Amino acid sequence: MDAVILLGSFIALILLRVPVAYALGLASLIGAWWIDIPLHAVMIQIAGGVNKFSLLAIPFFVLAGAIMAEGGMARRLVAFAGVLVGFVRGGLSLVNITASTFFGAISGSSLADTASVGSVLIPEMEKKGYPREFSTAVTVSGSVQALLTPPSHNSVIYSLAAGGTVSIAALFVAGIGPGLLLSFTMAALCLVFARKRNYPKGEVIPLRQALKICAEALWGLMTMGIILGGILSGVFTATESAAVAVVWAFFVTMFIYRDYKWSELPKMLHRTVRTLSIVMILIAFAASFGYIMTLMQIPSKITTAFLTLSDNRYVILMCVNFMLLVLGTLMDMAPLILILTPILLPVVTSFGVDPVHFGMIMLVNLGIGLITPPVGAVLFVGAAVGKVSIESTVKALLPFYAALFAVLMAVTYIPAISLWLPSVVL
């Protein structure tokens, strides 16, 4: 009955169109009243939920991504990707995927990736003869890798939701394998379409111009080296690397590229703070919701229910994948990570699944949800940037969904894709 009261009140509030963050907080108060604990205990959990040093990584990485997205770094990375792969048949679609790989490894945000890369490449692809729907589908599906590769702030949220027991550095390194697998899979699919539909070949960029493009992009690419190199060498922590990324992004944007106006900085900071306020409120209320769930022993009850369903790890993982795929189409990524991690992590670890590996499984699942209707935020942004309807974008995305599902199955059932690199470098 406890679970019915807590989860039922949360679902009812969502159906009443109460924002997810406030629905979590109100459901926590209802649950506390039901099990007769002091309401100030809930308030203590809310305050404690955001009183964590590791949480500083989120605002810093979001700010760094905003500076890079608006400061000309995305455009230079697109040009650099064109030097690498733009000369083959279907080269612009490969440029799109490659640019997403680079920019995602700098911004850590699928939304920023889609908006920045898409605004540059979708019109260019259409000009060269690619259907606008296909161009949008490539941009949207390619942006999912930004959720996996460092510095993904969703990895930070997963570490927080796991109670801080999962290393952020381990999650960052673990995301490289699945991210590259996704990138190569999308690129292979684009090559198949290019040959089948006879998409145009790009031009080979002259050596002098290519060297200039590479030199300009190098400043942005150095961000990846600074973040990962600093963490792996022990020079600074994952949280400190976020602050370093902001300083570096600001320096490159304002003093090297000098494309961004100083007068625009306050507006960008205002947009960043608005985004962060939503995320931090969500994290605070999710902490209280998780606290009430623990008192009600909901995670242990769900673990027991899964154990009665099957004792086969592969069957359980498939059930978890199906649950995450469905829920990912109905809710945004961050609240689902905060709500489901305390519930599902004990289930999968009881079957011997590594918490870092499960983090990658969850991120791939919910990343697919971000580009799937009816609540796919990245899908909506991609359709808006590409100026195409949601319906036509989804139709063009169908083969990409199949490729993403194949990547999900590989990440789920081949743990080495996620765990080999952390075991070597950490």
pLDDT tens per residue, range 148-171: 888 888 898 899 888 888 888 899
pTM (2 d.p.): 0.85
- In Å, what is the CA distance from 282 to each residue of 20, 168, 316, 333, 338? 8, 20, 29, 11, 9
Q: Give the whole-number percent of the chain exceeding pLDDT 90.
A: 19
371/3 Cα distance (integer angstroms): 30
Instruction: Print the domain residue range for 247.
Output: 2-425
Measured torsion, CA atoms of residues 129, 133, 139, 144, in degrees rounded to the nearest 10: -150
Instruction: Give 5-26 pLDDT, tens digit per residue.
Output: 888 888 888 888 888 788 888 9
Mean of per-residue pLDDT scores for the chain: 85
**pLDDT of amino acid 188:** 93
pLDDT for 420 equals 94
Query: pLDDT class for 332, splitting at 50, 70, 90?
Result: confident
pLDDT in tens, 189-223: 999 998 888 888 777 788 888 888 888 888 877 87
68 neighbors 250 (Cβ within 8 angstroms):
no
Distance CA 249, CA 237 (A): 18
Task: Label residue 409 by pLDDT band (50, 70, 90).
Answer: very high
Residue whose pair of structure tokens reads 């199955």 in the numeric block: 409
Q: What is the pLDDT of residue 11?
A: 84
The angle at the Cα of 19, spanning 16 to 23, to the nearest 5 degrees, equals 75
**Domains of the chain: total:** 1
69: confidence class by pLDDT, cuts 50, 70, 90: confident
